[in-house]
Amino acid sequence: MKYLKQVLGQDLRQYTMVVALAALIIIFNIISGGRMLTSSNFQNLISGNAYVLILALGMLMVIVIGQIDLSVGSVAGFAGMVMALVAKNYNVPWWAAVLIAIAIGILAGAWHGFFLAQLGIPGFITTLGGMMIFRGGVIWISHSISVPAPEQLKWFGAGYLPEWGPAFTGMNNSTLLLGIIGIVCYVVAQLRKYKHSGDGNGTKDPLWAVIVRIALMTLLIGYFTWLFGSGRVGTSFPVPGLILLLLTIVYHIITQRTKFGRHVYAVGGNKAAAALSGVNVKKTYFLTMVNMSLLASIAGILFVGRSTAAGPADGTSWEMDAIASVFIGGAAVSGGVGTILATIVGGLVMAVLNNGLMLMGVGADKTQVIKGFVLLAAVAFDVYNKKSGKSSIIGRVFGGNKKAAN
| Residues spanned by the domain of 178 | 160-236
Instruction: Examine the fold and report which residue of 236, 255, 274 is the final residue of a domain before the chain moves on.
Output: 236
Instruction: Examine the fold and report which residue of 202, 218, 236 is the final residue of a domain before the chain moves on.
Output: 236
- Is 127 in the same domain as 175? no
Q: Which residues have C-beta within 8 Å of that of residue 391, sequence separation ≥ 6?
A: 11, 13, 385
CA dihedral 89, 93, 94, 100 (to 10 degrees): -80
- Is 185 in the same domain as 173? yes
**Residue 27 to residue 19: CA distance in whole angstroms:** 12
Q: How many domains does the chain have?
A: 2
Within-domain flag for 6: no
What pLDDT score does 115 carry?
97
What pLDDT score does 213 carry?
86
What pLDDT score does 66 carry?
93
What pLDDT score does 383 carry?
67
What pLDDT score does 386 carry?
61
- Is 107 in the same domain as 244? yes
Type of residue at 46: I
What pLDDT score does 395 carry?
46
- Is 265 in the same domain as 200? no
**Residue 267 to residue 136: CA distance in whole angstroms:** 33
Instruction: Examine the fold and report which residue of 171, 203, 236 is the final residue of a domain before the chain moves on.
Output: 236
Within-domain flag for 326: yes
Within-domain flag for 402: no
- Is 204 in the same domain as 109? no
- Is 193 in the same domain as 336? no
Within-domain flag for 7: no
CATH code of the domain containing 86? 1.10.3470
* Cβ neighbours around 404 below 10 Å, total: 11
Within-domain flag for 2: no
- Is 25 in the same domain as 116? yes
Residues 161 and 239: beta-carbon distance below 8 Å? yes
**Residue 262 to residue 400: CA distance in whole angstroms:** 13
Within-domain flag for 272: yes
- Is 168 in the same domain as 151? no
Within-domain flag for 193: yes
- Is 178 in the same domain as 103? no
What pLDDT score does 238 carry?
96
- Is 220 in the same domain as 360? no
What pLDDT score does 282 carry?
96
Within-domain flag for 178: yes
Counting as low any pLDDT under 50, the low residues of the chain are 389, 391-406
- Is 171 in the same domain as 209? yes
**Residue 283 to residue 287: CA distance in whole angstroms:** 6
Residues 62 and 289: beta-carbon distance below 8 Å? yes
- Is 218 in the same domain as 184? yes
**Residue 11 to residue 361: CA distance in whole angstroms:** 38
Q: Which residues have C-beta within 8 Å of that of residue 41, sequence separation ≥ 6?
A: 35, 355, 359
